Amino acid sequence: MTEEWGGGAWELLVPAVAAPPRRRGRTLQAALREAVRSGRLAAGTRLPSSRELAADLGVSRGLVTEAYEQLTAEGYLRSDRGSGTWVGDAVRRAAPAARDLAPGTAGARVDFRPGTPDLSLFPRPAWGAAQKAALSRLPHRALGYPDPRGLPELRTALAALLARRRGVVADPERVVVCSGVSQAMTLLAFVLGARGLDALGAEDPGSPEPAALFASAGLRTVPLPLDAEGLEPAALAASGLRAVVTTPAHQFPSGIGYSARRRAGLLDWARAVDGYLVEDDYDGDFRYDRAPVGALQGLDPERVVYTGSVSKSLAPGLRLGWMLVPESLAAEVVERKRTMDLGNPSLDQAALAHFVTSGGYDRHLRRCRRAYRERRDALIAALAEHLPGTEVSGIAAGLHVIARVPGRHARGAPEAVFVERAAAAGVALRPLGEYTSARRDDGDVRLVLGYAHLPPGDIGRGVRLMAAAQRDGAAGPGAGAGRAPAEPAGGSGCSHGVRPRAAGGR
């Protein structure tokens, strides 16, 4: 079945005529191409002759002839000698693309979900200066294909920084720059899978991210329970595993710090099974009551794979992280990194190297630490005032707390209902139940409350809304269940969205 060129169809191409003479041919081709792609010129439509279309548009016949020939070569048109030019049938419309795949859904008046630093604290002027300085100093050869491990000056800067701040044993030759901890975990999973491992252990409760990353490499994730000191030794010994992901400095999400005895026990286990500990030091720089405990990797760099990033200290959108790999894994990890993406962008790495060596990174961390400690204190005070009896557990560190809200505040409602009532009042929450396979039936509600991204005023406002929502919800529809209490205008306008899965990606 064929269609004839409609009387007004040529109007699709009229805007091309207004283009400057030098671009008129390319513009005409683009207009024809888009008309076919969009379906406005359907498959089987017969196009006018080059002479007729040129006369209609007021352009040279050669311009139209060239456009027909180009689109015929690309497959958009077909031409049969002596019978004219037709729209081909090879083109299919693309499926509609998702509008925005970034995590988040608008609507929350106050968002307590963890995983994000305060992005308004990002040091824009200092970072801009670092980029400018890096670009002016970067040799031409550094703009070629990079060393897959990362730019030498960044690896050197990171090695010095991590040795000084986190107590790691850091040889720049063992540092691999990655697109965040997520890529580091993926790289490692592929390498360990190639060595014959079919599963890795993960803390329970813990971040849900590793399971998806390991699955992409064909590995299972085995949840391992925790006690007050860290991973339970008996469960670990009975697991049959040879690699486990841990967050010993500040366990996510429980907030505990591994005891010295448990840290030593983990290393003994790794040596006994000829295996590895994967240390995710996601927020090791943020300790508020004392100096941070050094990284586990410093005790045995040949049994611990150390990972970290700037996702919590600067911004996750930079996609800059690192992995310190044991000698036994180094060559395989670097080769996997090379085949995965050839390495990270050189200019971004150079900017971070300058930011670290110039002292800008340390200054930024001090600023963030002051702000986050103030916000943690504000959250604890607000919980004590509006939800009295709430227990906050975990060490004074990081960007979140675990809050155990007494069952009397939930009015007997399950954890999920507590969260739903808060959401109806405009408060986004993440229950601890979304991070663990364990279930408790004591009637209390356990929440993982992120505070770093919220100004103190919004923190107090959010806790008030949360508490009022539980009172109103328990009173029934007649009392305005699910209706947000009146709040004074103002605040930060924070409107982070509800993520499709538990937060904490790095």
Could you tell me which CATH class the domain 3-87 is placed in?
A: mainly alpha
- Please give the residue that has the higher pLDDT: either 492 or 467: 467
Name the residue among 480, 476, 481 with its Cα closest to residue 421.
481
Q: What is the side-by-side strand order in the sheet with 304-309?
A: 175-178, 321-324, 304-309, 276-280, 243-246, 199-204, 220-227, 230-231
Weakest-pLDDT range from 101-115, 206-220, 240-254, 460-474: 101-115
Task: Please check the confidence at residue 39 and state whether its pLDDT lies above 90.
Answer: no
Q: What is the mean pLDDT of the chain?
A: 89
| Higher pLDDT pick, 105 / 80 | 80
Name the pLDDT band for 13 (thresholds 50, 70, 90). Answer: confident
pLDDT above 80 (res 12): no
pLDDT 10s digits, 450-463? 999 999 999 999 99
pLDDT tens digits for 267-311?
A: 999 999 999 999 999 999 999 999 999 999 999 999 999 999 999
- In CATH, the architecture of 110-117+365-479 is Alpha-Beta Complex (3.90)
pLDDT of amino acid 482: 40
Residue 105 has what pLDDT?
52
pLDDT of 437 reads 84
77 φ/ψ sector (left φ>0, alpha ψ -120 to 50, else beta): beta
CA-wise closest residue to 426 among 498, 362, 361: 498
Residue 55: pLDDT over 50 = yes
What integer is the mean pLDDT of 56-74? 92
The secondary structure of 59-95 as a DSSP string is: S-HHHHHHHHHHHHHHTSEEEETTTEEEE-S---PPP
pLDDT at 466 over 80: yes
Token pair of 370 as six digits: 């002051």
Decide yes or no: CATH 3.20.80.10 for domain 122-362: no
Model pLDDT for residues 220-242, shown as the tens digit of each residue:
999 999 999 999 999 999 999 99
What is the pLDDT confidence band of residue 56, given thresholds at 50, 70 and 90? confident
Q: Specify whether the CB–CB gap between 485 and 425 falls below 8 A.
A: yes
* pTM of the entire predicted model: 0.84
3-state SS class at 405: strand
pLDDT at position 439: 78
Higher-pLDDT residue of 192, 496: 192
Q: Whole-angstrom Cα distance, residue 163 to residue 102?
A: 34
Position 2 confidence tier, pLDDT thresholds 50, 70, 90: low
Say if residues 38 and 9 touch (Cβ distance below 8 Å): no
122-362 matches 3-87 in CATH topology = no
pLDDT band at 22 (very low <50, low <70, confident <90, very high): confident
Q: Does pLDDT of 397 surpass 50?
A: yes
Taking residues 183-201, report their average pLDDT. Answer: 97
Residue 489: band (very low, low, confident or very high) from pLDDT cuts 50, 70, 90: very low
The domains of the chain are located at 3-87, 110-117+365-479, 122-362
Strands 110-111 and 175-178 come out as unpaired
